[in-house]
Copies of this chain bind each other. A is one copy, B any other.
Amino acid sequence: MARPNAGTKGVPRLDRETQILDIASEQFGTYGFAATSVATVADLAGISKPLIYNYFGSKDGLFEACLDRGGALVADEIERIARGDAVGIQRGMATLGGMFALLDGRRHLWRLFFDPSAPTTGPIADSVTVYADRIGKLAEEGVAELMGLAGNDDLLDISAMTSVWLGIVDSLMNWWVEHPNESAEQMMQRCLRLLTAIVGEGEK
């Protein structure tokens, strides 16, 4: 006796994994890898720590699983938009819109790939690199297009501008997290207004 709950919940592994990944993604995305403890995730899920180790092997494994699930989602969507025919600033806006729509309800996901407290070596770093590179490549491609239209082909300029662009997306995502009442659609409209304030009415 003495362990009245052991084994009695009967939740199928896949369901449980999904639930754990949801909670872990939110915690990692909100507080960062270093500041998130496995015990906290277990508590929030209403289960014990060893079950997480059973299913994901380690804290690193758990984080990797979050990355893989979230990364595929985000990178696929950005790739889909990149295959569209929008160019220059329009492509940027289309990407933003896609992200807002995709990440509505899981806004913290974005931050997984830009977590400075995550390990910088080992499998986690590799996994981060895979998705950050996929996203970064697409961003760089779009930026290069934009800069090319303006007659600038300097590689360092493109690199810096890519960094700025990712920083912009990042800020918007963070701002969105802090303003939970904003819908994806509202965010998109807001971004269009911000763009207008900078470049003027001309460019759509």
Contacts and interface: CB of A to CB of B under 8 A. Distances in A.
Interface string A191-204: 00110111110000
A166 B156 contact: no
A182 B34 CA distance: 31
Contacts of A150: 196-198, 200
A172 B163 CA distance: 7
Nearest to A171: B167
A152 B34 contact: no
Given A163-B171, A171-B163, A193 B157 contact: yes
Interface residues of A, number: 37
Nearest to A148: B197
A29 B35 CA distance: 17
Contacts of A174: 163, 167
A175 to B, nearest CB: 4
Interface of A: 31-32, 34-35, 89, 116-117, 146-147, 150, 152, 154, 156-157, 159-161, 163-164, 166-168, 170-172, 174-175, 179, 182, 190, 193-194, 196-200
Q: Which 7 residue pairs of A and B lie closest in terms of their CB atoms, listed nearest first? A: A167-B171, A150-B197, A163-B175, A167-B167, A34-B34, A163-B171, A164-B171
